[in-house]
Amino acid sequence: MARRRLITGILFISPWVVGFLAFTLFPIAASLYYSLCDYRVLSPPRFVGLANYSTLVRDEYFWRSLLNTAFMFIELPIAVAFGIGIAMLLNQAVKGLPFFRTVFYLPAIVPTVAVSMLWLWIFNPDLGLMNAALSKFGFPTFGWLVDPKSAKPAFIIMDLWGVGSGMIIYLAALQGVPQHLQEAAALDGAGTLSRVRHVTLPAISPVIFFMVVTGMIGLFQYFTQAFIMTSPRGGPEHSTLFYALYLFQNAFEYFKMGYACATGWILFVISVIATVVVFRTSARWVYYEEER
Amino acid sequence: MGLERRGPQEEAGRPASHGWPSRFHRLEAGFGTPAGEPICWSKGLQRFLSGVLIVVGVAGFALMAAWPVRLGPKPPPRRVFVRVWSGWTGHEQDAFDRAVQAFNRSQNRIFVVNTTTGEDDTRIFRAITAGVPPDFFQIWSGEYVGALAANDAVVPFDSLLKRDGPPRDEFIRGSLGLGKFEGRHYSMPYLVDASAIYWNKDVFRAAGLDPEKPPRTLEELQQVAVRLFKKRPDGTLERMGFEMPSPEIVIALFGGKFYDPVKRKILADCPRNVEALRWFVHMLEVQGGSVRVDSFASGFGQYNSPNHQFFVGKVAMMFSGEWWPSYVEKFAPHVDYGVAALPYPAKYPELAGTTYLGGNYFCIPKGSRHPKEAWQFLRWAQAWHAQELFSSVMHGVPNMLAVLDSPKLTTGSREKRAFGVVCRIAGNPKARWFPCTPVNNLYLTELAAAAQLAARHKKTPEEALRDVRLRVQQELDRVLVQPPAAGVKQAAGER
């Protein structure tokens, strides 16, 4: 009887299990094997040991793409600060609050491709709104996406425009901050800034932690915007050749699938290390209610 | 064995509900039932639901497997059904469909059906790897023909051409050369693309230049470009005298070399190529520099639209293909323009009248079920009427030399006369093209990057091209592990 019920249960979950094995676990395992092969899709993979990895270490573009991706991590604290800042403003009881919340959230629902096309024109050095606004107020203008110095900052600015998706999560967290703690702090004479620092931020720190980890993984995968917005691919002087873009080029443009798999595995290891580091440090700055 | 393991409650003498391990019990109980109450479905219902699931699953898979997937018209009985994949869409798809229909009407044995696959050339890689290729296919760029050939994924045409094809000297030389790898032909052309210089006569007149006298040499081109170049007071560009082409075209203009098929050597930094890149950098310099030009170019309108930079006067001269006269008539018939052969370096007069060729490549994949019938279509496509038909609707240059003078294609309207000029240029035996190698995609990407680095003075032209050579050669050495087949030396001698 137990066995029959177990079989029935397994049959019910089998679509997911089969899907997981066939479309997740197997490709992961296969990519590990292919990373040890010279595999160009049209011919069978040829085992080459660690040759792909040793070539990668000597590959100038690999390091360039890694540095470019690392640069984008500047975005992470700024995005967190922006998200929390806007969420705090939108957590105040002011007139027209739903309107403001909608306005700030709206960019988050625009597809990345559409956002990229839009910002392509905003960043146009000669005709774009960005330089027009800067010169109107007497600031220096930039080449944005055609200049290696300003190309990555341009992406960061664009991404901050879409900070609404994080903002909505911070807003939900802020609304869960215990009011009695705020009141107790106020009674003890804590000012606004002090309450933010000692009550609000610790209270929402699990959410900040979650956003940092997911944001970090998202930055490791930075691709679409660079793919659409910069030409030749990889941007001016390879300044927007991000890791995922380089991986894509190797896999789907040059059909160096084994090499791309090795690139992917290195990214995986880096992501795991970064996530572990963040998890380890989280004990110092993330507060869970049950600990108190 | 593990599946039969009992839960801790049972081990302790308390039977778990339904004999399930307790953790399963908790999950079960929490799922939409009053706490602690397991879902109790009758045996009959369980059997019925399981039966329905299995039947639906099996029937679904069976249906998917058996469903006849057939796109396009149904082939008439007793004719061999031949599938071709092509990338053309919209009116170009209609044009190719007309050519296919003409072939189907021309005989009663083969019925070709075209399926359009869009712009993604890599689709054919997946189809071949999966073992389900079409009978033949069109590929946009030569970037992948070499890779397909090097991996034996496409069938060489040499024996077919020798036995049944038109003599090779009847083709535009480059039309066959575009698909030639290690001495064998892996693609058949159906029209080619040829570059020419186009200039806006109104802009010439306004600048006091003779509108009927285009620059013949690169030196003249530079002088004229400087005269037509316009800058705003804030330093941004208002008009480029000459829109820069891709670096490989400039290299071809200088008579540069890309590849030595005998030694399997990448020749990216041979002296002529370095010379060409120097000129490329200099041309950008005299027009405001690379960053200014890139900034200006990022504001150009869509290519196939009335907002194209040539139509709105942002660019006075440019290189484009034989399709351009039709674009002018379609999007900006008011524009007064001229067309001529690409300029050449004054010190290499032997290169006068040159052009740069590209093309439509048709290949037969390994695994094609009807290679002979596919060849029949490609053979038919070389005939005068087939070339004329396709060229008249696709605005591509016929790849057969004899058809280049076709009055139907080259006389009459302004568009046809301009098209005729490009046809004559395309037939020039000095025409150049990018050779077929298995690493063309990487090679062209690296050349574009090198040109940008040189233009921005991050590397000298020599350094930039040397780095291209090293990088592409390294990749080529990895791809071509087998020794070259016999006949490559002879093929190289032909070049």
| Summary mean pLDDT of chain A | 93
pLDDT in tens, A235-265: 899 999 999 999 999 999 899 999 999 999 9
Does residue B420 surpass a pLDDT of 60? yes
Sequence-ordered strand ranges (E) for B169-304: 180-181, 184-185, 188-194, 196-200, 230-231, 237-242, 259-260, 265-266
Domains, in order of start, for chain B: 80-194+357-428 (3.40.190.10), 196-354+439-479 (3.40.190.10)
Does residue B474 surpass a pLDDT of 70? yes
At A97 the pLDDT is: 92
Q: Residue B381 has which token pair?
A: 């496509």
- Count, in order, helices (H) and strands (E) of chain A: 16, 2
Judged by a CB distance cut-off of 8 A, whether residue B315 touches chain A is no
pLDDT band with cut points at 50, 70 and 90 for residue B2? very low
Other residues' Cβ atoms within 10 Å of the Cβ of residue A190: 16
At B421 the pLDDT is: 96
Other residues' Cβ atoms within 10 Å of the Cβ of residue B63: 9
Contacts of B458 in chain A (CB under 8 A): 237
Contacts of A238 in chain B (CB under 8 A): 449
CB pairs under 8 A between A and B: 87
CB nearest A38 (choices: B129, B237, B478): B478
Integer Cα distance of B300 and B294 in angstroms = 10
Residues near B123 by beta carbon (within 8 Å), at least 6 away in sequence = B85, B117
At B9 the pLDDT is: 40
Q: Using alpha carbons, select from B154, B305, B467 the residue that is nearest to residue A237.
A: B467
CA B355 to chain centre: 19
Q: Where are the alpha helices (DSSP H) in B122-264?
A: 123-130, 145-150, 158-164, 173-177, 201-206, 218-228, 247-253
Does residue B409 surpass a pLDDT of 70? yes
CA distances from B392 to A13, B415, B419 (A): 59, 11, 10
Residue with tokens 């690296």: B446
Percent of chain B scoring above 70 in pLDDT:
87
**In chain A, whose CA is at the least distance from the CA of B296?**
A126
Inter-chain contact A40–B147, Cβ cutoff 8 Å?
Answer: yes
Judged by a CB distance cut-off of 8 A, whether residue B442 touches chain A is yes
The SS3 call for residue B61 is helix
Inter-chain contact B291–A237, Cβ cutoff 8 Å?
Answer: no
Q: What is chain A's alpha carbon radius of gyration, rounded to the nearest angstrom?
A: 24
Domains, in order of start, for chain A: 59-291 (1.10.3720.10)
Q: Residue B358 has which token pair?
A: 């590209």
Percent of chain B scoring above 90 in pLDDT:
70
pLDDT in tens, B332-352: 999 999 999 999 999 999 999
Sequence-ordered strand ranges (E) for A5-93: 37-38, 46-47
At A288 the pLDDT is: 83
In this structure, the dihedral spanned by the alpha carbons of residues A151, A153, A156 and A161, taken in order and rounded to 10 degrees, is -90
Does residue B24 surpass a pLDDT of 70? no
pLDDT in tens, B221-278: 999 999 999 999 988 899 999 999 999 999 999 999 999 999 999 999 999 999 999 9
Other residues' Cβ atoms within 10 Å of the Cβ of residue A276: 10
pLDDT in tens, A53-105: 999 999 999 999 999 999 999 999 999 999 999 999 999 988 999 999 999 99
- Beta partners for residue B136, in sequence order: B84
- Chain A residues with CB under 8 Å of a chain B CB are 1-3, 5-6, 8-9, 11-12, 38, 40-43, 120, 124-127, 143, 145-147, 232-234, 236-238, 249, 252-256
The SS3 call for residue B333 is coil
User: Taking the CA of residue A96 as centre, how many other CA atoms within 13 Å lie in the half-sphere pointing to its CB?
Assistant: 4
Inter-chain contact A127–B122, Cβ cutoff 8 Å?
Answer: no
Other residues' Cβ atoms within 10 Å of the Cβ of residue A185: 17
Contacts of A119 in chain B (CB under 8 A): none
Integer Cα distance of B255 and B272 in angstroms = 7
**In chain B, whose CA is at the least distance from the CA of A11?**
B50
Q: Residue B41 has which token pair?
A: 């479905």
Low-confidence ranges of chain A (pLDDT < 50): 291-292
Contacts of A124 in chain B (CB under 8 A): 295, 298-299
Contacts of A145 in chain B (CB under 8 A): 298
Does residue B297 surpass a pLDDT of 90? yes
Phi, psi of B244 (to 5 degrees): -70, 135
Residue B422 DSSP label: H
